[in-house]
């Protein structure tokens, strides 16, 4: 997740606690929790609608084939120019 490790998140939390202050920290924490809940709800709604739209075909999808990160141009060119590959 954007290169954030648990250690970095703890440091960000401590800095935020100092900047926000102990009086407003519970309010901001509650707002963050509501934002995360709304995000999850939107994601689940989109997922549900996607499965509803595709119906039975959604069960058979191979998501790894649809991942755009697999199309690395450097890898594709090196595989195409590799003389050891018989195909």
Decide if pLDDT at 1 tops 50: no
Q: Label residue 64 by pLDDT band (50, 70, 90).
A: confident
- Is 2 part of any domain? no
Task: Write out the residue range of the structural domain in which residue 17 sits.
Answer: 8-81
Report yes or no on 3 lying in a domain.
no
Q: Three-state SS across the chain?
A: CCCCCHHHHHHHHHHHHHHHCCCCHHHHHHHHHHHHHHHHHHHHHHHHHHHHHHHHHHHHCCCCCCCHHHCCHHHHHHHHHCCCCCC
Per-residue pLDDT tens for 2-59? 688 999 989 988 898 889 888 898 898 899 999 999 999 999 999 888 888 888 777 7
**Rounded (5°) CA angle 53-58-63:** 125
Q: pTM (2 decimals)?
A: 0.52
Count how many domains the chain has. Answer: 1
């Amino acid at each position: 997740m954007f290169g954030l490790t648990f250690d970095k998140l703890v440091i960000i939390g401590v800095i935020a606690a100092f900047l926000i202050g102990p009086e407003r920290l519970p309010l901001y924490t509650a707002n963050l929790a509501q934002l995360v809940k709304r995000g999850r709800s939107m994601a689940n709604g989109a997922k549900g609608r996607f499965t509803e739209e595709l119906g039975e075909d959604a069960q058979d999808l191979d998501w790894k084939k649809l991942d755009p990160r697999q199309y690395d141009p450097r890898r594709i060119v090196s595989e195409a120019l590799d003389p050891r590959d018989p195909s």
